Amino acid sequence: MLRFFGRRLLLLGVTLVVASVLIFAITNVLPGDVGRIILGPFAPQDAVARLNAELGTDRPIVIRYVDWLTGVARGDWGRSYAFDTAVFPLVVERLGRSLTLAVSGLVVLVPLAVAAGVAAARREGGIFDRVLSTVSLAFGALPEFVTGVFLILVFGIWLGALPIQALPPDGAGPLTVIAHLVLPVGCLVLLLFAYLFRMTRASMIEALAADYTRTAELKGLPQRTVIWHHVLRNALLPTITVIGAQIGWLVGGLVVVETLFKYPGIGSLIHFAATNKDIPLLVGCSLAITFVFALGNLAADLLYAILNPRVRHGRHAH
């Protein structure tokens, strides 16, 4: 297990280095003349050159990368052109908010989808299975700005039961915070439920039909033990991988949900950075999201290995 963990950690390091090179290359090399981009096509050439020298973008690429990377490691992620503040604290603040939203979403989504998947698989083709499959797929197919607006209309405006802004006022108590998160989390759950539910359902059906499940039943184990002890460990494996892959998206890809619910997360920040050509900010956001994504996958891999001895032991040991 330790060796497995070590290998995974090493892999994580490699992933991050490769990602940093890519991010650096895309944001610092591909755009070409950074000064020209910032100042626009009509600015005089000497102003552009002066800005480039000021920004350091006229130096050789490798030196710029190493410089940049040491800065990143020290927490100096540069200054945002648009906000004219340090990137790092800004990104950390926004990332914290996005994580809150994503984690709240997962905490609601995962048990719900897994439980529903298990229930549907046990009565495959039954009324619960068919209704839930259809309804969840319909919601999964609707874009989040439709479901989001729908939720806001019904719960926020007609019923007036819930706040439509996700960001609670400063100094709000935990109940208020949760109340503010209900609608955006609901929107996320509706969006992602079908995917996880169907994944769980499919692997549950497979595991329920497996010979080892029959063995467990014919041992005389009660249904509950068969499901919890024998089936779920096997059936959840693919679902775990899927959840791991979703984490990155949940953190960085929620531009629409964040905008709808006026929630200043990292998704809207990276969107802002991109539209305003704020390259240091864009780089910072990308780095943060990459990091979260890699960590999410690492966590999923570890959980997978805990449940699956074969992976843990590395390879076929016959």
Judged by the rule CB under 8 A, the positions of this chain that interact with another protein are 210-212, 214-222, 229-230, 233-234, 307-310, 313, 316-318
Amino acid at 65: Y
β-pair partners for 79:
86
Q: Contact 173/94 with Cβ under 8 angstroms?
A: no
| Element holding 142 (H helix, E strand) | none
Residue whose C-alpha is closest to residue 106's, from 305, 303, 311: 303
Give min distance, CB of 122 to another protein, in A: 12
Q: Which is nearer to another protein, 174 or 220 (CB)?
A: 220
Q: Which is nearer to another protein, 3 or 313 (CB)?
A: 313
Q: Contact 87/281 with Cβ under 8 angstroms?
A: yes
Give min distance, CB of 315 to another protein, in A: 11
Q: Which is nearer to another protein, 235 or 282 (CB)?
A: 235
Give min distance, CB of 4 to another protein, in A: 14
Other CB atoms within 10 Å distance of the CB of residue 123: 11
CA pseudo-torsion sign 21, 26, 27, 30: positive
Give min distance, CB of 211 to another protein, in A: 4
Q: Contact 255/268 with Cβ under 8 angstroms?
A: yes
Distance of CA 43 to the CA centre of its chain: 40
Q: Which is nearer to another protein, 229 or 262 (CB)?
A: 229
Give min distance, CB of 307 to another protein, in A: 6
Q: Residue 177 contacts by C-beta under 8 Å, 6 or more apart in sequence?
A: 168
Q: Which is nearer to another protein, 216 or 254 (CB)?
A: 216
